[in-house]
Amino acid sequence: MVKGIEDKIFNTIVYVLLALSGASVVFPLMYVLSVSVTPVGEVLKNGGFILIPRSVTFTAYAKLLSDSVLVQSIGVTVFITVVGTVLNLILTALTAYPLSSKQLPGRKAFLFLIVFTLIFNGGIIPTYITVKSVGLLDSAWAMILPNVIWSFNVLVMKSFFENLPDELFDAANIDGAGDVRVLWQIVLPLSMPVMMTVGLFYMVGHWNEFFQAIMYVTDRTLFPLQVVVRDILMQSQQPLDSAENIVPTQTMQMASVVLASLPIILVYPFIQRKFTKGLLLGAVKG
């Protein structure tokens, strides 16, 4: 089919907008990465703006990784990300699976309560009092258990389960399989797209944990990575005594941002296909 002039103009506009959108995303990443591996002298010579460094140094990364506080914060973040994501997926699946059955007594009431929490919540002070009353303050569990189930993810997973063929469940019931066996051997193996989608949501949330940490944790040994990165970035607001102190305000700042973002950036390409499929299939039915 021969494209008309209108189609060519439209496609050109679309390509230009996509290119600009891509550049707006790639440019900040290149800037942060370039400054993090550029010697301090070159950063100062260029007024703090470096896009393509002439020389490369990993001094900032070596200094950051030699800091016991940062290394310890990485361990805390890895713990809450791994343990938290596993608990999130288990409890979300156990909540979404029975709700996907239309024969569940009181199903509409449960769904109403779940949707209600998407609009209203208890607030910061009641939540803090609850966390304190159960003894979770100053513990890693304070950054895991308060948000162990996200209502939105329950609805996404429930919708995915509803799209599974009914014939599978009928055949399993004929063979005498119980609900637990059906969930473990049939539903979950077929639900990898939505499990990886929801798992990515949870994983990113835990890796970027900040608010709950500053709310419930005062022990610096339990600070996650994002809180420590915040402290590093705030050093730029303090007076500089010498040229040596410029390292934390420039290259170390950017290196800390790279260290905090790199794991998620590396993981996402491997699950992008299943992420998109799970998100679309989970939104077909309400």
- pLDDT, one tens digit per residue, over 59-112 is 888 888 888 888 899 999 999 999 999 999 999 999 998 898 888 888 889 999
Distance of CA 284 to the CA centre of its chain: 23
Q: Which of 3-12, 122-131, 261-270 reaches the highest mean pLDDT? A: 122-131
Q: Which residue has the tokens 């400054």?
A: 35
Residue 242: give the domain boundaries.
67-281
Q: pTM for this one?
A: 0.80
Cβ pair 226, 264 in contact under 8 A: no
Q: What pLDDT is attached to residue 42?
A: 78
Are 1 and 113 within one domain?
Answer: no
Instruction: Kindly state the average pLDDT of the residues 212-232.
Output: 90
Are 8 and 130 within one domain?
Answer: no
Name the pLDDT band for 245 (thresholds 50, 70, 90). very low
Are 37 and 173 within one domain?
Answer: no
Tokens of 87: 């608990």
Say yes or no to pLDDT of 15 above 80: yes
Domain end marker among 34, 60, 86: 60
CATH number for the domain that contains residue 235: 1.10.3720.10
Q: Mean pLDDT of all residues in the chain?
A: 83
Q: What pLDDT is attached to residue 281?
A: 52
Q: How far apart are the first and last CA of the chain?
A: 39
Q: What pLDDT is attached to residue 3?
A: 61
Are 275 and 236 within one domain?
Answer: yes
- pLDDT, one tens digit per residue, over 201-219 is 899 999 999 999 999 999 8
Name the pLDDT band for 239 (thresholds 50, 70, 90). low
* C-alpha to C-alpha distance for 163 and 156, rounded to whole angstroms: 11
State the Cα torsion 245-252-38-27 to the nearest 10°: -130
Tell me the CA distances in angstroms from 168 to 95, 149, 164, 165, 209, one per residue in order: 20, 27, 8, 6, 39
Specify if 286 maps to a domain.
no
211-224 as b/e: b if 16+ CB within 10 A: ebbebbbeeeebbb
Are 54 and 164 within one domain?
Answer: no
Are 28 and 120 within one domain?
Answer: no
Are 55 and 72 within one domain?
Answer: no
Domain end marker among 60, 80, 95: 60
* C-alpha to C-alpha distance for 127 and 121, rounded to whole angstroms: 9
Containing 110, the helix (H) or strand (E) segment is: helix 107-119
Are 127 and 47 within one domain?
Answer: no
Are 54 and 163 within one domain?
Answer: no
Name the pLDDT band for 238 (thresholds 50, 70, 90). low
Total structural domains within the chain:
2
Domain end marker among 39, 60, 81: 60
Are 12 and 128 within one domain?
Answer: no
Are 153 and 249 within one domain?
Answer: yes
Are 162 and 219 within one domain?
Answer: yes
* C-alpha to C-alpha distance for 246 and 252, rounded to whole angstroms: 9
